[in-house]
Structure 1
Amino acid sequence: MKAMRFHEFGSSEVLRYEEVDRPVPGAGQVLVRVAATSFNPVDDHIRAGVLAGMIPIALPYVPGIDLAGTVAELGEDVTGLETGDPVVAMLPLDSAGGAAEYALAPAGSLAPAPRTTGLADAAALPLTGLAAWQTAFELAELKPGQRVLVNGAGGAVGSLVVQLAVDAGARVTAVDAPQHADRLRGYGADRVLGPLDLAAGPAAADGPYEAVVNHVRLAPEELAQLTAYVADGGVAASSAGPVPEDTARGVRSASLWVRSDGAQLAELVTKLDAGTLGLHVAARRPVAELAAVHADAGAGKLPGKTVVLAP
């Protein structure tokens, strides 16, 4: 089968499109015929070796943490699935494998694919959806009626956090560049603001807020300024560096390390099919161009969430 792999850490140039053996599912595993994967920033970090100490991987490595496809073969002890079932999954970070014709997935990571979205586009959901779910409900513990500030709301994860928060009954202020404003209003945000002037303080952004969710890479001193945007007893949840706590005011901080969870992914699929959650796919590229996708991401040229189509 064809797969994109790298045999050493480095720039996007280490990615090679080559012929490899088709994997065989072991106990508790499922072989999936891949429809698509998608690009996530962590793919770039893994390839560059930046996360080698935190995520030990075996080389050669097939990137692609997101997976959408159909069940091709079941390993021993796998129940509840049949050959031909359309599925989605977030693959383990240390094994991945979505940028190929076939990929192995732990059975527990799989969820039924959405019925209302094309199978390839469903590859945009797993990692970003799980990151949004875990940020909103495990870290920020969002509740109905709370005022929530989502910084970086136009991005792949931030967009889903906005929608999950609105669906949970929170009152959302979405912060991002003006080109995202109409889409964010369409998601139900109460208020849409341009990039924060952190030095101006929370009052300038109608704060403080009971929960602040941050998806914008900020310098440590800027993250420290963001603490003031959290109301007494509130929480700052971030996927882009820790926001300092303020124990005197009871402000706590939580940082995201997303994990695969088939049950949570199934909940996200249900919301997608019910129309309370929407995916925004900015581009679709063939897996043979994955090196160019990585290069474009590194140069800041990706237009947004990019689905990578299997051979």
Structure 2
Amino acid sequence: MAGKVMQAIRFEGYGGRVADLKHAEVPVPGPKKDEVLLKLEATSLNPVDWKIMKGVLRPILPRKFPYIPGTDVAGEVVEVGPGVKSVGVGDKVVAMLSHATGGGLAEFAVAQESLTVKRPPEVSAAEGAALPVAGLTAHQALTKSAGIKLDGSGKTTNVLITAASGGVGHYAVQLAKLGNTHVTATCGARNIDFVKSLGADEVLDYKTPDGVALNSPSGKKYDAVIHCATGIPWSTFEPNLSERGKVIDITPNATAMLTFALKKLTLSKKQLVPLLMIPKRENLEYLVGLVKEGKLKTVVDSKHPLSNAEDAWSKSIDGHATGKIIVEP
């Protein structure tokens, strides 16, 4: 592919607004050692994509510009770098690109072999591309932070999932129900039936008094909260937690980090756990397998052509997508 060019959407600097997106013709990248070049078929957006571009994570994730955003992709391997053994040219795959380099909003992208997995024919490109950040975050929050066994073994766990109709939330509900759990979920009124269809045992409209207070309709105390929303203070969670209940915050801010530290220092039985998602290939393979078997479904909010990626970006910033937003070259 040396010398060839491709269409891409990129930023020239921090800002993150739709108006800051630039269409560009750039060289097709080449794979280095342990890397593969993918012809992209689908890319899914995550809130972290525009947060990085707004500079929210600048102290810990500084960017080099120009920068092509997007990390969650599906496509076909068209070239492999030295040392690649697990996938070959012609393989359909799902991959998570590095946040440091991005590259998803383009026609081609380079992925590390270590976060690239084969995609069976039963899993569409859009279904696969939606999985990495959102699916892995939900999986890690439930299995590592909350200690839920997804094979159905283990004691019954009462779980609350906030913003359950969003990207992480809609996966968290489905994955939690593979375990021995009772799931309470919050979402907007228009999505109540949708979240019930994912398997939630009880669903709260987050704008009602009970929804604001996070009160379980059946009076249950929560052993774990998978917190996918923002703006809910610890004081709202605490009375709803069981004796050793945990709030697992997938987007912890400074206030959450302070609460985490205070709860640790005071040896509180109730804890706030900030989640830093660590992607692992075996977990991505597991999720792709669940989709293949029909045990996990990706709900696609909308699909947008790369030529009109601005609409997808705007929809992600708006924050009311049901499921995942997909961009297709």
TM-score norm. by structure 1 comes to 0.91
Aligned mates of 1:173, 1:193 — CA distance in 2: 8
Match of 2:136 in 1: 130
Aligned mates of 1:300, 1:120 — CA distance in 2: 20
Matching of residues 225-240 of structure 1 within 5 Å:
225-240=236-251
Q: Offset at 1:205?
A: 6.4
Residue range with higher mean Cα deviation, 194-203 or 25-34: 194-203
Residue range with higher mean Cα deviation, 143-152 or 31-40: 143-152
Please give the secondary structure, in 1, of the residue aligned with 2:161: strand
CA separation of 1:187/1:295 partners in 2, compared to 1, >3 Å: closer, same or farther? closer
In the alignment, structure 1 residue 75 sits paired with structure 2 residue 86: no
Match of 1:8 in 2: 13
Please give the secondary structure, in 1, of the residue aligned with 2:22: strand
Q: Offset at 1:34?
A: 0.5
Contact 1:89 1:111 in 2 (8 A): yes
Q: After superposition, give the CA deviation of every residue in 1:201-226 in whole Å (9 maximum; x if it has no partner).
A: 7466623111111111115xx23321
CA separation of 1:156/1:200 partners in 2, compared to 1, >3 Å: closer, same or farther? closer
Aligned mates of 2:75, 2:160 — CA distance in 1: 35
Q: After superposition, give the CA deviation of every residue in 1:172-199 in whole Å (9 maximum; x if it has no partner).
A: 1122122222222222222222216477
Q: Offset at 1:293?
A: 2.5
What is the root-mean-square deviation of aligned Cα atoms in Å?
A: 2.1
Aligned mates of 1:301, 1:162 — CA distance in 2: 17
Please give the secondary structure, in 2, of the residue aligned with 1:51: coil
How many residues get paired?
A: 308
Which among 14, 25, 28 is matched to residue 22 of structure 1? 28
Identity, in percent, stands at 32
Which among 163, 183, 197 is matched to residue 172 of structure 1? 183
Contact 2:128 2:288 in 1 (8 A): no
Q: Offset at 1:60?
A: 0.8
Match of 1:31 in 2: 37
Match of 1:189 in 2: 200
Match of 1:147 in 2: 158
Match of 2:281 in 1: 262
Q: Offset at 1:75?
A: 0.6
In the alignment, structure 1 residue 279 sits paired with structure 2 residue 310: no
Match of 1:66 in 2: 72
Aligned mates of 1:38, 1:200 — CA distance in 2: 32
Aligned mates of 2:8, 2:216 — CA distance in 1: 51
Residue range with higher mean Cα deviation, 249-258 or 289-298: 289-298
Match of 1:209 in 2: 222
TM-score norm. by structure 2 comes to 0.87
Q: Offset at 1:148?
A: 0.9
The unaligned stretches of length 5 or more in structure 2 are: 1-5
Please give the secondary structure, in 2, of the residue aligned with 1:293: helix
Q: After superposition, give the CA deviation of every residue in 1:221-246 in whole Å (9 maximum; x if it has no partner).
A: x2332122221112111113338455
The unaligned stretches of length 5 or more in structure 1 are: none
CA separation of 1:24/1:199 partners in 2, compared to 1, >3 Å: closer, same or farther? closer
CA separation of 1:77/1:49 partners in 2, compared to 1, >3 Å: closer, same or farther? same
Match of 1:294 in 2: 313
Match of 2:235 in 1: 224
